[in-house]
Amino acid sequence: MSRRKLIAGNWKMNGSLAANQALVQDLLAGIGQPACDVAVCPPGAYLGQVQALLAGSQAIALGAQNVSQHENGAFTGDISATMLQDFGVRYVIVGHSERRQHQAETDVHVAIKVKRALSAGITPIVCVGETLREHDEGMTEFIVRRQLSAVIHLNGDDVGRIVVAYEPVWAIGTGKTATPAQAQAVHAVLRAQLKAATSQADDMRILYGGSMNAGNAAELLAQPDIDGGLIGGAALKAADFLKIVAAAR
Ligand code: PEP
């Protein structure tokens, strides 16, 4: 079993033409030949720009932050999986807690979006994670299993082609990180759930996300079931993101 780690930067709703150019140039200048897979996920409006900036790079892949659950048609503001495909998008974040919270995305929406992404040949990075209240009430395992089970239910054996990201909501953008032991325990639960669903579970990547940074990445990434990171704030600073990439081997 060997899983190549994945470090994906979620830029969220940050950036500008000028800032993106500077960030990607700094990343390309410093990345060399990483020992892991690397992706950046800019806002949808900048996919074309970042695709052009990354052209020719083997080291950094393009990702998106969302995909429509619909195939095409009268869905104002949505971006379809085939549109992402047109821009060379390789990964798409699906079910981020900010979308579950602010855009009322349900487990079923997330499962359908996964299907759309997979049918366009794009790897979904499926986010699961509990809120602070759920955490404090001891519901972590129940919540993440419920979120992942909707994706498994709709996608069957294709679930072997997804990436999972465990992102405790209380750790996102807060500076609080799950301890490596806490994160590993949840990753092991998710791995066991995947094992019951697909023979490919041992080859699947489960990322940790939630205030991962240059200082704590190595310890988190050393856990047996942590196969990379989904990085928010630290992905906006090239030096920090590159340090996390260097820690992933
Ligand atoms: C995220 O938004 O996916 C995330 C993990 O953010 P941060 O690293 O800023 O906590």
Q: What is the pLDDT of residues 99-125, one digit of tens each?
A: 999 999 999 999 999 999 999 999 999
Write down the pTM of the prediction: 0.98
Expressed in angstroms and rounded, the spacing between residue 188 Cα and the centre of ligand 1 is 21
pLDDT at 151 over 80: yes
Residue 196: inside a domain:
yes
User: Taking residues 155-163, what's their average pLDDT?
Assistant: 97
Q: What is the pLDDT of residues 174-210, one digit of tens each?
A: 988 999 999 999 999 999 999 999 999 999 999 999 9
- Write down the pLDDT at residue 175: 87
CA angle 164, 187, 117 (to 5 degrees): 5
pLDDT at 92 over 70: yes
Residue 208: inside a domain:
yes
Residue 192: inside a domain:
yes
CA angle 244, 162, 113 (to 5 degrees): 110
Share of the chain above pLDDT 70, in %: 100
Domain count, the chain: 1
Residue 203: inside a domain:
yes
pLDDT at 1 over 70: no
Measured by CA distance, the residue closest to atom 6 of ligand 1 is 232
Ligand 1 pocket test, pick from 169, 174, 176, 231 with the greatest ligand atom count within 8 Å of Cβ, gives 231
Range of the domain at 68: 6-247
Q: Tell me whether residue 141 is one of the annotated catalytic residues.
A: no
With the C-alpha atoms ordered 124, 61, 121, 12, is the resulting torsion angle positive or negative? positive
Q: What is the pLDDT of residues 13-32, one digit of tens each?
A: 999 999 999 999 999 999 99
- What 42-49 contacts at long range (C-beta under 8 Å, 24+ apart), as own/partner pairs, is 42/11, 42/15, 43/11, 43/12, 43/13, 43/14, 43/15, 44/79, 46/15, 46/17, 46/20, 47/84, 47/87, 47/89, 48/87, 49/17, 49/20, 49/21
pLDDT at 56 over 90: no
What are the CA-CA distances from residue 131 to residues 24, 93, 158 (Å)?
32, 19, 28
- Which CATH number fits the domain that encloses residue 232? 3.20.20.70
Q: pLDDT band at 2, cuts 50/70/90?
A: confident
Expressed in angstroms and rounded, the spacing between residue 234 Cα and the centre of ligand 1 is 8
Residue 1: inside a domain:
no
- Lining ligand 1 with CB less than 6 A are 10, 167, 172-173, 209-212, 230-234
